[in-house]
């Protein structure tokens, strides 16, 4: 069984993950609770994370092909003001494509972001100031 490279799943620390909400049927939830009670898992979250990782591992070949086909950066990609200033100085614009986390530094102004970022596609999470997100709203896909 192939798995994604370790760099794509660093250990989660506070602020390094995103909270999601799911709805489960009572029977599924009861079965999870039983496995937790029988100490197969520490808690519901442990079970759900394990199930998700197992599914991602099962589909790892398809994920790798899709990442390559869509030209996505896998993992974390950060853009600070210095990076964007260098992009502007080179007369270029970025097309950001990330599977994981894309972050734009809080020191980046909306004007700098607009001048240097042509488009953003993120499968995962985009972290940026609300002003930058608002300025780039039409360029975020």
The C-alpha atoms of residue 82 and residue 94 are separated, in whole angstroms, by 14
Q: Among 61-65, 77-81, 103-107, 137-141, whose mean pLDDT is lowest? A: 61-65
The model's pTM: 0.62
Question: Could you report the per-residue pLDDT of 24-82, keeping only the tens digit for each?
Answer: 999 999 999 999 999 999 999 999 999 999 999 999 999 888 877 777 888 999 999 99
Question: Could you report the per-residue pLDDT of 109-130, keeping only the tens digit for each?
Answer: 999 999 999 999 999 999 999 9
pLDDT, average across residues 15-27: 87
Domain residue ranges of the chain, discontinuous segments joined by +: 6-66, 71-139
- Residue given tokens 């100085």 in the structure block: 89
Helix (H) or strand (E) holding 98: strand 94-104
């Amino acid at each position: 069984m192939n798995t994604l490279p370790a760099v794509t799943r660093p250990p989660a620390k506070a602020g390094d993950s995103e909270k999601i909400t799911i709805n489960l049927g009572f029977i599924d939830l009861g079965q999870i609770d039983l496995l937790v009670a029988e100490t197969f898992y520490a808690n519901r979250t442990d079970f759900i994370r394990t199930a998700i990782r197992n599914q991602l591992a099962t589909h790892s070949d398809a994920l790798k092909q899709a990442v390559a086909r869509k030209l996505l950066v896998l993992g974390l990609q950060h853009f600070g003001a210095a990076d964007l200033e260098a992009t502007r100085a080179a007369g270029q614009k970025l097309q950001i494509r990330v599977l994981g986390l894309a972050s734009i530094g809080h020191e980046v102004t909306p004007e700098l972001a607009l001048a240097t970022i042509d488009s953003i596609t993120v499968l995962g999470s985009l972290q940026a100031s609300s002003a930058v997100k608002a300025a780039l709203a039409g360029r975020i896909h």
